[in-house]
């Protein structure tokens, strides 16, 4: 940490900035995996909505 002395004897500490890392573009396999996970998530939400509608209409 960098510490500076201000007027009146106060100390002011500044955090060190983390090293910047640039994001790499996704590979084809990573894109397919992401699409699969999005699809599974959307399917899960649709399934939960369907079950909720089924239960709320007294079909159980």
What predicted TM-score, i.e. pTM, was given to this entire model? Answer: 0.57
Residues 35, 18: Cα–Cα separation, whole Å: 31
pLDDT confidence of residue 13: 86
Continuous segment of H or E residues that includes residue 43: helix 28-56
pLDDT attached to residue 17: 84
- For 36-60, what is each residue's pLDDT tens digit? 999 999 999 999 999 999 999 877 6
Per-residue pLDDT, 60: 65
Show the CA angle centred on residue 44, arms to residues 41 and 48, nearest 5°: 145
Q: What's the rounded mean pLDDT across residues 30-39?
A: 98
What is the tens place of the pLDDT at every residue in 5-26?
A: 888 888 888 888 889 999 999 9
């Amino acid at each position: 940490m960098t510490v500076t002395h201000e007027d009146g004897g106060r100390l002011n500490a500044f955090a060190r900035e983390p090293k910047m890392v640039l994001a790499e573009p996704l590979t084809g396999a990573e894109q397919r995996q992401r699409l699969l996970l999005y699809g599974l998530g959307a399917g899960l939400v649709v399934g939960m909505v369907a079950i909720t509608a089924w239960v709320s209409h007294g079909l159980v």
